[in-house]
Structure 1
Amino acid sequence: MSVIDCDYLPTEKVEIPAELALLIIRKASAMAATFEEQALDQLTKDARRAMRQGTDLRRIIRELML
């Protein structure tokens, strides 16, 4: 039987200070809001383009997975 040496895996747990955790949460929230806005803009753009091309509403809904 062989043993695999895994030096790259952490062996001890590191406690994250509350102040750092709060900063991480705020940054993640801001990133999520930016992503949400970009996704909304892209979906709206795609839907408008499809409507201009005369695509059936049900097909647009299906293709955008709404």
Structure 2
Amino acid sequence: MSIIERDYLPKPESIQFPRELAVLIVRKAASMAATFEEKALDQLTKDARSALSAGVDSNQVIRQLRL
């Protein structure tokens, strides 16, 4: 069996990625992750408190929240 290699698309030019841009992207991603983590923590806590106040057993809450 033979493989035919063809260049149908031009090769992308190699560009130098600016270090400053990479650092800014990492900082933004870290900030977004922290915000998401805080919101997730708040929501999980709210859901657990709501379930516990409704009389749900804590072991069931653990299973439902997949903790």
Instruction: Please report the TM-score for the alignment, with normalisation by the length of structure 2.
Output: 0.79
- One-letter amino acid matched to 2:55: G
Q: Work out whether 1:45 is the aligned partner of 2:19.
A: no
Counterpart for residue 57 of structure 2: 56
- One-letter amino acid matched to 2:16: E
Instruction: Find the structure with the greater CA-based Rg.
Output: 2
Aligned length: 61
Q: Work out whether 1:20 is the aligned partner of 2:40.
A: no
SS at match of 1:54: coil
Q: Cα RMSD between the aligned structures?
A: 1.8
Percent identity between matched residues is: 56
Uncovered stretches (5+) of structure 1, i.e. residues with no partner: none
Counterpart for residue 66 of structure 2: 65
Counterpart for residue 36 of structure 1: 37
Uncovered stretches (5+) of structure 2, i.e. residues with no partner: 1-5
- One-letter amino acid matched to 2:62: I
